[in-house]
Structure 1
Amino acid sequence: MSKSLQRGSQSKFSPLALAILSTFFVGNARAENTVTPQPETAKNLEFDSSFLNVDDQSSVDLSRFAHGSSALPGVYKTALYINSQLVRNTDIEFKMRSDKSVYPCLTREIIKNIAFNYEKLPADFLIPSGNADQCLDLEKKLPQARVTYDTNEQRLDIVIPQIYMLTTARGTVSPELWDSGVPALLLGYNVNGYTSESRGTTYNSLYAGVNAGLNVGAWYLRHNGAYSGSNVGPKKYNTLNTYVQRDIPIIKGRVLMGQSNTLGMLFDTLPFTGIQLASDERMLPESVRGYAPEIRGIARTNARVTVRQGGQVLYETTVTPGEFLINDLYPTGYGGDLEVTVRESDGTQQTFLVPYASVAQLLRPGSSRYSLTMGELRSEILRHNSALYQATYQRGLTNSVTGYGGMQLSQNYYALQVGAAIGTPIGAVAFDATQARMHLGKSTDGPNRHDAAMSGQSYQISYSKMITETNSNLSLAAYRFSTDGYMDFMTAMQTREAVEQGFPADSIWRAKNRLTVTYGQGLPDAWGQLYLSGSVQNYWNKEGTEKQYQMGYNNRYKSVSYGLSVGRSYSSLGSTQTNYLLSFSVPLGRDDQRNIPQLRMDLSHDSSGRYGQQATVSGTGGADNQFSYGVTAMNANQGVGTSGSVNGNYRSPATAMSGTYSTGKGYHSASAGLNGTVIGHTGGLTFTPYTSDTFALIEAKGAEGASMSSYPGVTVDSRGYAVVPYLNPYQMNDIIIDPQGTAAGVELDNTSQKVAPYSGAVVKVKYNARQGTLILINSTYQGEPVPFGANIFDGKGNSVGSVGQGGQLYARVAEDQGRLQVKWGEGGEMQCTVSYVLMPIAKGQTQSQIQTFTSPCTAATSSTFQTSKLAKSDTVSAVNNG
């Protein structure tokens, strides 16, 4: 048996020798070879061992470097690079071929991180050559690929010819890699109780919104509804929709059956019951996400805000006094005004409309969007639901022109629309024309009864432009003109029903002109930002014009933010309301402090002569900002007097809680709420304070307490599960787990994985956690220190450590006792085993130290030490980790 490497200039490598070893072995092997055999010029290379300070040069196996196999077979933590781009950090197993070359075992989990063009790959590319447990040998499946492993950096580089890679925009993920998730039950909830008392009158209400679902395979069942009730009104449960859906990746679309809404890209959004087949832009490169407008308003007290569309409640919440912003509506389409009702604590309420109109739709050449809906109209304001057939199609014709069209059909109605969107140097313009005709039924006018019908046209032009030279943004300008006989689908159905009941056709208003504008202007030299928005609408059969405008100015001076806004509305009856608001906001602390409170001052005035002053202090607290609070004091004239309110929110690991209290002259009110999501799966129930549509279910048994990076407050619960919300469908999402917070001795195989879920999926991401103990073994082999740099493997073949200077073995072990295999070559004379027994840990205590042993490493072919013998002869001690 040959001797091992000698100590110092006799027992360990000198710094110069280490540099030569690192540069010569790794650098040359990497430069000339990959981890697999290369062309003939790179084969059968010999490395001169005289560069090493080795007494017996045969004690080190250098032949494996002739094949570029600088790594021994085993499992290594590796940084995976695809065409020089970092993809992930993970454990990769390296296996040996018959010619002693080593190749990485690329599992399907690893392969899915590579953006292959699967149409160009061999048909059997993803099929292992042997049994299902075997890995994919990339260079055998794809000889043009090159795989290189750098032991110094623990980096695996995979270079793949561009012909086999997707050439679409960065971030595009092949449908082959989309994940439909695991079977799961979902229950999203938003519960809010509200009470107020004003002048001896009590008002109590309860709202409970539910978003429930069941996922089985690629089929997703969804139900959205809400219970609402009060002591002065009816109590009922309202179903928004119930449907089942399934993605069809081959057509980049989705089929939906049940109750839902039309997409509203060309026609107004309509609720229906039936079947829908529609494309989803999120499946495409450079996808366009769903749109919903922001809702801004001013509440005088602790108020209840309800948002409706087409008579259906979409959203309901409690807001504190002052200006409020709602920007988290679920997209319901691109058309159909939103009706916003603000109910104040003193019983008064105000209602206003938020225009919800589409912008110019330009598509890339060759790309398209489509939708096909068949069913019947579903509306609470109609006695009878009519049939609804709708089809729309948009296609990019050239780089600057997109054509689109659609049709709507019912028993007595049709509408045809054609249009085009054009990108010009002065902005994007869309123009369309719609022809509609409605049979109203038998006319009762005159002595002769006859079929009455109305037909007409509607023309719309919209414009959008960002002018960088002047920092101007005309985000939406749309004008629509409709002739006297034109009716959209909903107006036509309401008109026909009115005629059937004996009312004249003019009892339902028919729109004539409508203009909506949103404009922003940045001022030079840090002078701030101006914005303007407004809408004007009139009708053929209704006197007056409805108008509303809002303009404002925002700026910042050092740490002080301030703004001025003016809003004016005109009703069709001629009444006018004007509101003014001046606001200031300043932090109550230094910029380098955490959780700094903010002070906001508001001064308001309206055309009725009311003046008001308001001061609010708000902030957050906790390491993850899980606490938030606000205290508000108000004063107003006209007998309103002084009032105040407090609010607080707490985001626990399981749910989000909120509470408010408000009091003023002659009234007081309070509210409390809960919201979050519960997911049921094969491992039980997992709670999260977040509500979302697409989730990742984390399974990390043994890593309880670990947190999920980028998701404050999401931690692995006591059963080893966590829920990550807000995943982007059809895109790769990085799911990163932070082991900080786990018990001592816990080690994760990897801390980052990627998933590309279907929309609505619950994808399972599993992290393997090992409960291990760090050990340091002073070991010798045949009387000499174990060779520096040797790899250490456990009984399962996993790489658990390496040998440092002076023959010190550093490893993490999972068992209380066992044997470790130390390898510095493939020959039997270049391997040995060492036994260990951990010191017992008292019950209730945790291991916070590195256990140190002194134990010889015996030849692999020899009998190993027995546990009893080791306990008697070896020195066992524990030293502090620091």
Structure 2
Amino acid sequence: MRPVDSIRPAEGWLMGDRKRPFDFTLKALCLAIGLASSGLSGAATSDSEFDSQFLRGLGQNVDLSRYAQPGTVIAGDYELDVLVNRRDMLRQTVHVMDGDGPGEQHLCFSAADVQRWGVRVDQLPDQPQAQRVLASDCIEAETLIPGASFHLDMASLRGDLSIPQAYAGTVKRGYVDPAEWDDGVNAVILGYHANAFHSKPDSGEDSTDYNVNLNVGVNLAGWRLRHNGNYHYNDTDEVSEYAAQNTYARTDVDRWRAQLTLGEYFTPGSEFESIPFTGVQLGSDDSMLPESERGYAPVIRGTANTNARVTVSQDGHVVYETSVSAGAFAIDDLYATGYAGDLEVTVSEADGSERSFTVPYASVVQMLRPGSSRFNVAVGRYRDDEMHDEPSFAQATWRRGINNRLTLYAGGLVAEDYDALLVGSAVGTPLGAVAIDATLTRAEGIPYEHSELNGQSYRLSYSKMLNATGTNFSLAAYRFSSEEYVTFADFAHLKEGDASSDSLRERNRFQLSISQSLGEFGNLNLTGLTHDYWNGRPDQTTYQLDYSKGFHWGSLSLSATRDLEEDDESNTYMLTASIPLGDGNDHPMLSATATFDDDHSSTVRTNLSGTAGDERQLSYNAYVSRADNDIDTSTSFGGDLNYRTSATQLGTTYSHGDGYEQYSASATGIAVMHSGGVVFSPDRAETMALIHADGAAGASLSNGMGNRLDRDGEALDAGLTPYRHNSIAISPRGLPVDVELKSTSQTVTPRRGAVVRVDYQTRVGHPMLVHVDNDAVPFAAEVVDGNGQHVSLVGQGRMIFLRGEYPELQLKWGEGSGQSCRLQLPAPQQSDDISTTGYQQVEASCVPL
């Protein structure tokens, strides 16, 4: 991890929101450097000589010898677009080092950078020399690869890399060397989402429900321990309950690009159905692969008529619960549940009414690249807290890309009294990607079955994007299962004596998801799910057709939903119009929704929503609704407020209707405890960066979310992408006037679930604008400290900008006699200048050396 001075050559001059002093001097200095360093584009030669008399109007003669060599830049790190052989563009960081000789510089890369170039290292002629260069801290393209060249263009922050064809391979886009993967620091993590719901019906007893979703973790020595649970309390019956969802520990296995998991987890559902288990699992992790070699939890969408509570269940287990505002909502942050099956979503309205719908839980066809493989091995015991004798099992799956068109996969599951074998293939055809597989099962020992059950299940999946028509078959899948086919989950429950599982055995299942672009006329989407069962359970079918279009005044959407169960059917129609009130990103949004069904019931709701604050930290929503049916008419109204701080996100809702009143409060966020203390964030995430900058309290993160460094100079940047380069940036906005950031951007590469520490160096001290009274000091003279390190430059009128205190400072404008002096600064003292201008102005003498 290295700091990157990203396109800020005058970083040290930043002073928060205050006006920068010396602005004209800085521009003049940049002009001088730009003129002097024009050789970067190749116009200058090695013996070029620049006449400092050209800048006589800015002061005395200036020594420009340091810029006489073409390509000379200030030493440091620069983030560049590197073009490899005029074909492939990479984003990389070059480290510029000064050499021993005059004007000598080294352009250094890392071994990971070289791998991304795709260099055929094994073909280099001098292998011992190549290995020594690769093991060094500074790898220059010309030194490592015979005939290679690298040209740096600072004007466009681009580098052109030329590699001879004999050594050029395939550029690995998105490749990150595993040596760069950061385990992060040891930490304790507590994520929470707390809600309190209070209901006041006109008739009946008031009640309050308290619910807290907890995600607890410990990171220690490369292992990540995680626990997910839910606490619920109701003050009416005074019953409290804590439901633990799962607890597990995980670590990376770099060699196999896999994750090793111990504890309560679940198997992937791409081949067999997902199985919750307690045991050990080793499986491939696609996120550890480069982007060029790599595809589930669904997004739940719905509509609430009032401020409502949404509960997500899977296989009878509550996996998520939250409060939503009236109107359309989307839940896209589901944690891994550990249970297989479709998601049952229940929307509990403020008036006490409830409605439910099902979200299919399945993935699309996945083909592998030629020569690549994926695997998963799990050994453990089936996990269900309500069972007395969970069966043990072992399962293994494997997938292999044979060529560009064919992928083969297989799997096996072995348990006492149960076996399953799966074989299948995925084929890419001009008409789309098709996968077909067959699963054979054998089960015995089921209490009310008198013989062995031998079943089969066949599955066909299809995926295709028709570019010509804009039609996307994102998922089309059909499965047939024979009467004696049972999944391992069904077997576990049937053997336990749970006869209800027998009625859940599917016979046919078909699901479809199609989206159609209509160009300027909008978009059309169709989703559907139908399934029937053995043993007489009613058939079920649900499908929905959606249409949406944007206009210059707003947007319009229409939807029609039909639910069928045997001979019963219900139809629901919805029309929504949204209109922005004003221009810009912060304008309020007015929307109106009308819903109708076959029972002559209708609901019309109007919403007004928007954001406020410099960083849109406050969001609001208000609604009024009217519902009509054959019996009566009712009205309701309400609203909600959400406020985001740097530590947590707070929310409150209120609803009032005929016969009821309801309000709630919520808090969401995460706390990370580390060796240096505790830091908070409103964002819950798996992979995070812990940012620290001494004295920089109040500075904001440049992630657009409004998070700021706390009084200890710390903050969390949540939601990083594991095994990828992530840019972590701090904005100087909000910095104290006496603090300066030496860099504002760094790059980190965290492992999954890691909390990586990012330290920013700061220079603390009051800013000072110094006027030198020595007429011999020219414009652009260099200011160095007692160790000869660069501190600043002399600007127009012999003005110098400094921050902090230095035991010794010298001014140098050449190597000859009389071309340096020692700066004598007055003792620091209180001044009114700082409060008015942001800096102190002083006079100083400079004694010739």
Interval of TM-score (by shorter of Structure 1 and Structure 2) = 0.7 to 0.9
Distance in 2 between residues matched to 1:166 and 1:679, nearest whole Å: 43
Task: Decide whether the 8 Å contact of 2:480 with 2:508 is kept in 1.
Answer: yes
TM-score by length of 1: 0.83
In the TM superposition, what are the counterparts of 1:749-764 in structure 2 within 5 Å?
A: 749-764=742-757
- Alpha carbons 1:601, 1:613 under 8 Å: kept: yes
CA distance in 2, matches of 1:21, 1:352: 66
- TM-aligned CA deviation for residue 601 of structure 1: 1.0
Unmatched runs of 5 consecutive residues or more in structure 2: 1-24, 122-128
- The structure-2 alpha-carbon separation of the partners of 1:436 and 1:826, relative to structure 1 and needing over 3 Å to count, comes to farther
Counterpart in 2 of 1:266?
Answer: 271
Pick the aligned partner of 1:190 from 158, 170, 193.
193
For the structure 1 residues 47 and 780, does the alpha-carbon distance in structure 2 shift closer, same or farther, using more than 3 Å as the test? farther
Distance (whole Å) between structure 1 residues aligned to residue 113 and residue 658 of structure 2 = 64
Partner in structure 1 of residue 692 of structure 2: 699
- Secondary structure of 2:445's counterpart equals strand
2:583 to 591, 594, 614: 591
1:504-543 C-alpha deviation (Å, 9 max, x unpaired): x98443211000011122224x222222111110112124
In the TM superposition, residue 49 of structure 1 has moved relative to its aligned partner by 7.2
The 10-residue stretch of structure 1 (784-793 or 354-363) with the greater mean CA deviation from structure 2: 784-793
SS at match of 1:490: helix
Q: In the alignment, is the contact (CA less than 8 A) between 2:224 and 2:250 conserved in 1?
A: yes
Shift of residue 551 of structure 1? 1.2
1:26 is aligned to 37
Relative CO higher for 1 or 2, CA cutoff 8 Å, sep ≥ 6?
2
Provide the rounded CA distance (Å) in 1 between the counterparts of 2:294 and 2:207. 40
Aligned residue in 1 for 2:320: 315
Give me the whole-angstrom Cα distance separating, in 2, the residues matched to 1:80 and 1:398: 36
CA distance, structure 1, for counterparts of residue 822 and residue 512 of structure 2: 78
CA, structure 1 residues 259+843, in 2 after alignment: closer, same or farther (shift >3 Å)? farther
| Residues 62 and 341 of structure 1: CA distance in aligned 2, closer, same or farther (over 3 Å) | closer
**Residues 277 and 356 (structure 1), Cα distance of their counterparts in 2 relative to 1, 3 Å cut:** same
Contact kept in structure 1, 2:490 and 2:501, CA below 8 Å: no
Aligned to 1:181: 184
Partner residue of 2:550 out of 556, 576, 598: 556
In structure 2, distance between residues paired with 1:677 and 1:16: 48
Equivalent-residue separation in structure 1 for 2:297 and 2:570 (angstroms):
26
Describe how 1:635-784 pairs up with structure 2 within 5 A.
Answer: 635-637=626-628, 638-779=631-772, 784=775
Contact 2:655 2:661 in 1 (8 A): yes
Consecutive unaligned residues in structure 1, runs of 5 or more: 1-12, 34-41, 129-134, 446-451, 863-882
Q: Matches of 2:284 and 2:480 in 1, distance apart?
A: 30
Match of 2:240 in 1: 235
- Bigger drift between 796-805 and 115-124 goes to 115-124
Deviation digits for residues 662-705 of structure 1, max 9, x if unmatched?
Answer: 12111121111111000111221101011100001111112211
Q: Which amino acid aligns with 1:822?
A: L
After TM superposition, the structure 1 = structure 2 runs for residues 61-140 of structure 1, keeping only pairs within 5 Å, are: 70=72, 82=82, 94-97=97-100, 99-100=101-102, 102-103=104-105, 115=116, 120=121, 122-125=130-133, 136=138, 138=140
Secondary structure of the residue that 1:785 maps to in structure 2?
coil
Aligned counterparts, 1:164-563, within 5 A: 167-198=170-201, 199-230=203-234, 231-232=236-237, 234-286=239-291, 291-332=296-337, 336-441=341-446, 452-498=451-497, 507-524=502-519, 526-563=520-557
**Aligned counterpart in structure 2 of residue 821 of structure 1, from 798, 801, 810:** 810
CA contact (8 A) 2:770 2:843 kept: yes
Contact 1:521 1:531 in 2 (8 A): yes
Counterpart residue identity of residue 553, structure 2: S
Structure 1's 160 and 308: CA in aligned 2 closer, same or farther, altered over 3 A?
A: farther
Q: Deviations over 1:195-236 (max 9, x none)?
A: 223331434321111111111231111111111233358531
CA distance in 1 between counterparts of 2:98 and 2:298 reads 56
RMSD over aligned Cα atoms: 3.7
Aligned-residue sequence identity (percent) comes to 36
Name the SS of the counterpart of 1:544 in structure 2: coil
> After superposition, where does 1:840-859 map in structure 2 within 5 Å?
840-841=829-830, 846=835, 848-859=837-848
The alpha-carbon distance between structure 1 residues 82 and 604, as it changes in their structure 2 partners (threshold 3 A), is closer
- Does 1:566 pair with 2:570? no
Q: Which whole-Å CA distance do the structure 2 matches of 1:82 and 1:596 have between them? A: 40
Kindly tell me: are residues 385 and 122 of structure 1, through their superposed partners in 2, closer, same or farther at Cα, counting changes over 3 Å? farther
Matches of 2:293 and 2:71, distance apart in 1? 47
How big is the shift at 1:122?
4.6
Distance 2:184 2:464 in 1: 41
CA 1:137–1:170 in structure 2 vs 1: closer, same or farther (change >3 Å)? Answer: closer
Q: Would the aligned equivalents of 2:509 and 2:530 in 1 still touch at CA under 8 Å?
A: yes
Distance, in Å, in 1 between the alignment partners of 2:191 and 2:28 is 63
Deviation at 1:636, TM superposition (A): 1.3
Task: Decide whether aligned partners of structure 1 residues 796 and 386 sit closer, same or farther in structure 2, where only a CA change above 3 A counts.
Answer: farther
Q: Secondary structure at the match of 1:491?
A: helix
- Equivalent residue number for residue 20 of structure 2: none
**Compared with structure 1, are the counterparts of its residues 324 and 143 closer, same or farther at alpha carbon in structure 2 (3 Å cutoff)?**
closer
Following superposition, the deviation at residue 123 of structure 1 comes to 4.4
Once structures 1 and 2 are overlaid, which stretch shifts more, 140-149 or 845-854? 140-149
The answer to whether the Cα contact below 8 Å between 2:248 and 2:265 also exists between their aligned partners in 1 is yes
- Report the CA distance between 1:330 and its aligned residue: 3.0
In structure 2, relative to structure 1, the CA distance for the partners of 1:767 and 1:316 (3 Å cut) is same
Question: 2:37 corresponds to which letter in structure 1?
Answer: V
| Structure 2 CA distance for aligned equivalents of residues 114 and 853 of structure 1 | 53
Q: Would you say the 8 A contact 1:650–1:658 is kept in 2?
A: yes
Alpha-carbon displacement from aligned partner over 1:233-284 (angstroms, at most 9, x marks no partner): 8531111111111111221111010111111111222211001101111111
Q: CA deviation at 1:800?
A: 2.4
Q: Which amino acid aligns with 2:570?
A: Q
Superposition pairs of residues 48-67 of structure 1, within 5 angstroms: none
TM-score, length-normalised on structure 2?
0.86
Distance 1:49 1:758, change over 3 A: closer
| Helix, strand or coil at the partner of 1:531 | strand
| 8 Å CA contact retained: 2:782, 2:792 | yes
